[in-house]
Amino acid sequence: MNPILLTIILVPAVEIYLLIKIGSHIGAMSTILLIFATAIIGIYYAKYEGLNTLKSGFAQLSKHETPAYEVISGAAIAFAALLLIIPGFVTDTLGFLLIFPFSRKLIFNKFAKKFQPKQKKKNNFIDGDFEDIEDDNDRKI
């Protein structure tokens, strides 16, 4: 089955299950307030981290360096903000993991190791071409 389709089906089902379970323990109103609080706090912190990433990107550009990490980090923060807007506890947890710089770096390093090209075995020879030129004045030994 397609992983995207599976995600679209499973994430809301898990979210509804958790909302019912947590709501039965702490109450419906507390659950609703918790969902709103995580969304508001998350969006505020996403804005803060987004501005920090933007500042860092401009600093990289002023040094004439490519802000590759900042671009990827900015996209992750935007995705995290989207996850925090969606009501639910699983999406909020994933959103907060992507917003905090420490956990974001850990996630990026995990994916970077997965997508790095494999090291080739080092060979101890040099590849080259040669051309044999015959000359009448060549000495034959």
pLDDT of residue 111: 83
> What is the extent of the structural domain holding 103?
14-109
Q: Per the domain annotation, does 61 fall within a domain?
A: yes
45 occurs within a structural domain: yes
Mean pLDDT over residues 48-61, rounded? 93
* Residue 128, in any domain of the structure: no
pLDDT in tens, 75-117: 999 999 999 999 999 999 999 999 999 999 998 888 887 777 7
78 within domain boundaries: yes
Q: Note whether residue 130 is domain-resident.
A: no
Residue 124 DSSP code? S
Residue 130 pLDDT:
72
Q: How many residues does the structure list for the chain?
A: 141
| Arithmetic mean of pLDDT, 27-42 | 92
* Whole-number percent of the chain with pLDDT over 70: 89
In the chain, how many domains are there?
1
Q: Is 53 inside a domain boundary? A: yes
Radius of gyration (Cα) for the chain, nearest Å?
27
Q: Is residue 117 part of a domain?
A: no
Pick the range with the lowest mean pLDDT from 60-64, 90-94, 117-121, 131-135.
Answer: 117-121
In-domain check, residue 56: yes
How much is the pLDDT for 81?
92
